[in-house]
Amino acid sequence: MNSDAMRERPSSVVAERAVRYLHSSGKPASSVRLARELLSLAVADEQQATRVLRAAFVDDPRLIYDDGAWRPAVPAIVGASGVAAPLAPRSDVAFVLVIGARPAPRAPFTMTAVAASRRRGETIVAACGGDCSSPATAPELKAQLRALVDGARVVLHAPPGGLGALESWIEEPLVDPLSLPLLARRRLHKPALHSLEDIAGALSLSALVDDDPLHGIEILPACFDALCEPGETWDATVAACHARGLGVPWSRYAFSRDDLRALPPTPGTYRFYDLDSKLLYVGKSNNLKRRLAAWFSDEAPRGVRGRAIVDAVHRFEVKPSGSDLEALLREAAQIRRDEPERNVQRAVHVRGERAARLRSILILEPAEEPWVLRAWLIREGQLLDSVPLGPRGGGLRRIERILQDEFFDPREGPRSAGSRPIDVEIVARWLAEHRDKAVAFDPTHLKTTDEVVSRLRWFLERGALHDPEGSPILPR
C-alpha cells in the first residue's frame, strides 16, 4: 500500500462522518449546519463553528472549506497500479474496542471499558461506549452493544483474553471477528504490532490513543481503512489477514505470547480449557515451551481439528514432569479419566509378547537437573516406583529395597503404597521409539540386588546409557 495514501486517511470519526454526510447530501454545507448534524452543537456563529470543526477534522485533506461552506475533496487513493480508485463500500461493519487488563499471568482478563461504532456503507449509524463495570450504566451499555454488533461484520481490537471476556460479558459469541492487530502485522510486515497506538503510529495516523475508549474508537476505523487495499472486499481483507495460515485469535485467550515464552523447556503435560473452564484437550511433550509455541504460532499450518482446538481454547495449564515417559503415562491416564472433548480416543491393541517382556523391567532415562537418571521399576503390570538418581548415588537405597522386596524376594500381600497399574503397551511403544535415549533390562537376569545396583552405579559414573560393550541394553 502506498504510504502517502495512508497518511491521507482520516484520524477522526468526525471527519469520517463529515465526508459521508457531504457525499450523501450531494451539496456543500455550512459549518453551522455540520456542527449541528455531526456534533449536535447549536452554534449560530459560522466563524466559531468553523474553528470547532477544523479542530475536530484534524486537517483532514478530504474536506475543503471555501466560500463559507464545506465540500468533499476528490478522493485520491492510489492502488498498486497507480490508478486512483475509490474504496469499495463496506456495509454493516462494527468496530469494537475492548479495554482492560489481567491482574496476573494467565489470570482471567478483566474488562473495564468498551466502545463500538457501526458503519453502513460510508455512514456511522450507531455508536456506544463506556465503563462496563458500572452497575448503573452496564446493563444499558450491554444491550446497546448487542444491538450494534448484531448481523454486522466485526473488526476488533482487544488485548489477550479481551474477546473471551467481551463474549462472556454480553453473553453471546461474536461471529468470526477480524483482528485488527493481526491484519496490521500481515499488511505492514511488523510482527511486534499489538497496541492501537502502535498500529496508528505505523500508519502515520495522528490521534490521541489512551484509556478513554471514545478516543480509541475514533482511530480504530481509520486504521482499518488504511490497512485495506483500494476496492478490496471484506472477504479479500479476511483472506489477506490469514494469507500465511489461519491466524491465532489472541484476543480470545487468558494468556499472551509472554506467558508462552516463560514456560519451561522440559517434558510435561498440558491441558486446554474453554471459556467455561471445560477441559478440551490433554497433550504431552518432551519440551513444553516448544510445543505450546507451536500450537499458538501465527504461521503454523493446521488441519480442521487443530484449528478448532486453537479457536476454542481460553486458558491452559501445564505440569512439568522432568521425564518424557512420565509425561506420556500421565497424558494417557488423564485422557482415560477425563475424556477431553477434543482428544481422539484410540483403542490400544495389546500385543501379548510385549506385555510378557515387561512383566519384570527396570528402565533408565535421562532426568532433569539436579538428577542424572530416572529409574522406572515395573513388575507384573504395576509401576512400583519412579526414582530419580543423583550424581552421587542418591536414590539407590530406595531402589535397592524395591528390588529386594519385589524382584528377588517377592513379599506376600499388597504392593508398596506408591505402586499403580501401568499400561505396558504404552511403555513398550515408548521404548521402541527411544532406543537411543533409554536403557531397559530385566533385573532378575542378574544374580542379586547388589549386581543390579552396581550396574546402576556404572551408568551414573559414566553418564551414558550404554553397557560396557557400548550397546544399549534392551529387553530381549
Which residue intervals of the chain bear CATH 3.30.420? Answer: 93-251
Name the amino acid, one letter, at 227. Answer: L
As assigned by CATH, the class of the 263-338 domain is alpha beta
Task: Look at residue 5 in the predicted model and tell me its pLDDT.
Answer: 37
Whether residue 21 contacts residue 122, with contact meaning beta carbons closer than 8 Å, is answered with no
- Whether residue 256 is predicted with pLDDT greater than 70 in this model: the reply is yes
Question: Strands of 153-157's sheet, edge to edge?
Answer: 123-131, 110-120, 93-101, 153-157, 178-179
Task: Look at residue 270 in the predicted model and tell me its pLDDT.
Answer: 96
Q: Rg of the chain over CA atoms, in angstroms?
A: 32
Helices (H), 254-379: 257-261, 288-295, 304-312, 324-338, 352-357
Q: Which helix (H) or strand (E) is 197 found in, with range?
A: helix 196-202
Task: Look at residue 247 in the predicted model and tell me its pLDDT.
Answer: 63
Which residue intervals of the chain bear CATH 3.40.1440.10? Answer: 263-338
For the chain, the average pLDDT equals 78
Task: Look at residue 208 in the predicted model and tell me its pLDDT.
Answer: 57
Q: Which of 10-14, 204-208, 287-291 has the weakest average pLDDT?
A: 10-14
Whether residue 435 contacts residue 472, with contact meaning beta carbons closer than 8 Å, is answered with yes
Please, what's the b/e burial string for 400-418 (b: 16 or more CB within 10 A of its CB; e: otherwise)? eebbbebbeeeeeeebeee
How far apart CA 160 and CA 174 sit, in angstroms, is 16
How far apart CA 317 and CA 361 sit, in angstroms, is 32
pLDDT tens digits for range 55-106: 888 777 778 888 888 887 754 333 333 333 333 344 689 999 998 887 776 6
Q: Using pLDDT thresholds of 50, 70 and 90, give the confidence band for residue 451.
A: very high
Give the HSE-up count for residue 429: Cα atoms under 13 Å, Cβ half-sphere: 10
How far apart CA 279 and CA 273 sit, in angstroms, is 5
Task: Look at residue 75 in the predicted model and tell me its pLDDT.
Answer: 40
With cell 486446554, the residue in question is 272
- Whether residue 21 is predicted with pLDDT greater than 80 in this model: the reply is no
Q: Which of 391, 395, 401, 399 is nearest to 459 (CA)?
A: 391
* Residue 201 burial by Cβ neighbours in a 10 Å radius (0-12, 13-18, 19+): middle
How far apart CA 382 and CA 306 sit, in angstroms, is 34
pLDDT tens digits for range 210-226: 566 666 787 888 889 88
456-470: average pLDDT: 69
How far apart CA 178 and CA 166 sit, in angstroms, is 15
Which span out of 46-60, 139-153, 176-190, 431-445 was modeled with the highest average pLDDT?
Answer: 139-153
With cell 521404548, the residue in question is 431
pLDDT tens digits for range 434-450: 777 788 888 988 989 99
Task: Look at residue 345 in the predicted model and tell me its pLDDT.
Answer: 57
Q: Which of 18-22, 230-234, 468-472 has the weakest average pLDDT?
A: 468-472
Maximum C-alpha span of the chain: 109
440 three-class SS: strand
Q: To the nearest whole percent, how much of the chain has pLDDT over 70? A: 80
As given in the structure block, the three cell numbers for residue 128 are: 456506544
CATH of 93-251, one of 1.10.390, 3.30.420, 1.10.3210, 3.40.50: 3.30.420
pLDDT tens digits for range 372-415: 889 999 988 888 888 999 888 899 999 999 999 888 887 665 55
Q: Using pLDDT thresholds of 50, 70 and 90, give the confidence band for residue 8.
A: very low
Left, alpha or beta for 274 (phi > 0: left; psi -120 to 50: alpha)? Answer: beta
